[in-house]
Amino acid sequence: MQSAVNLDPERNLALDLVRATEAAAIAAVRHLGRGDKNLVDGAAVDAMRPILGGVSMRGTVVIGEGEKDDAPMLFNGEQVGNGTGPEVDIAVDPVDGTTLTAKAMPNALAVVALAERGSMLDPGPVFYMEKLAVSGDFADAVDFEAPIERNLKWIAKAKGVAVEDLAVCILDRPRHADLVDRIRKAGSRIKFILDGDVAGAILAADPDHDVDLLVGVGGTPEGVIAACALKCMGGAIFGRLKPDDDDMRQRAVDAGYDVDKVLTIDDLVAGDNVFFAATGVTDGELLKGVQYRKGEVWTQSLSMRSRSRARRLVDTRHNLERSNLIVRPSGN
């Protein structure tokens, strides 16, 4: 019996995952600006599923984005891969930022992550979580349960800068109004994101970008996917499940979840053999979006693996007629 922990290093899983996110991004952008986020998600899922189906792995979808809003999805528990190779967990968000794509706004990504079987947190009934993400260099300078003002002070001290020099990434939601006010009163700048906080977490963990911290409440599936990305980068993310109401809280407790526990990156994705891939759907700070050119489709992707800490920026020009990643609209 093949061990689940022995992922064959010769298997080009990293490139296989990039092909899957490329296919999803190319399909999703066909519906750019049409105002229908489910149409965006459905096209991306339909394009991504057959690519994942051909990968040499025995994968189980642990994170299948779409469940909380009845959107099209690669569903939780779905088996993917060609039935050979390692047993793995899959976390997938065919478009992290469906609303952004539907409105032709920046920073939408197609993302997928892979790890050894049994290593990813299954969010269960809790769709949202509180999050804090930083560069790994400053993981010891923050305390998830401390007031935001103290964390800003500690991060500034660790970086050797003033609190006023820090930029905090946060989802633009009414629930964050008080948090935003406190951050501004402390003197730090706010960098709002309208949707999709996987990219925000990556920006916060990358010292090459002008984001020092991501905080706030966002989706639990996105939290697990972000943890996969940050494990590949050596970043840090902390979280705590946030049930919507007492009924959801009780269902989570009955299912064995500790909703008061502060989760670390290793709670969200264990082990050190994690793969992550993302392709830009719309232009953003992290990646360029899909561009249709004469006879070609251009994509830009990020490929990462935790074991090697390799990070690759992949620029690809797909031949419009020959690429098997491009799903052509019916009637063409």
Binding site as annotated, residues: 41, 65, 93, 96-98, 128, 173-175, 195-197, 219, 222
CB-based contacts of 111, cutoff 8 Å, min separation 6: 21, 92, 93, 96, 198, 225, 229, 276, 277, 278
Give the C-alpha separation, 278 to 96, whole Å. 10
Query: How many CB atoms within 10 Å of residue 235?
Result: 25
Residue entry with tokens 């930022």? 97
Please answer whether residues 277 and 268 qualify as being in contact, where contact means their C-beta atoms are separated by less than 8 angstroms. Answer: no
Amino acid at 245: D
Binding-site residues for substrate sit at 96-98, 128, 173-175, 195-197, 219
Query: Looking up tokens 């899922």, which residue turns up?
Result: 45
**How many angstroms separate the CA atoms of 120 and 224, rounded?**
7
| Binding site listing for Mn(2+) | 41, 65, 93, 96, 222
CA 326 vs CA 12, 27, 65, 73, 332: distances in Å: 21, 7, 22, 19, 12
Q: What burial class does residue 179 get, using C-beta atoms within 10 Å of its C-beta: 0-12 exposed, 13-18 middle, 19+ buried?
A: middle
Q: How far is CA 299 from CA 88, 193, 211, 225, in A?
A: 27, 22, 24, 21
Tokens for 37, please give them. 């986020």
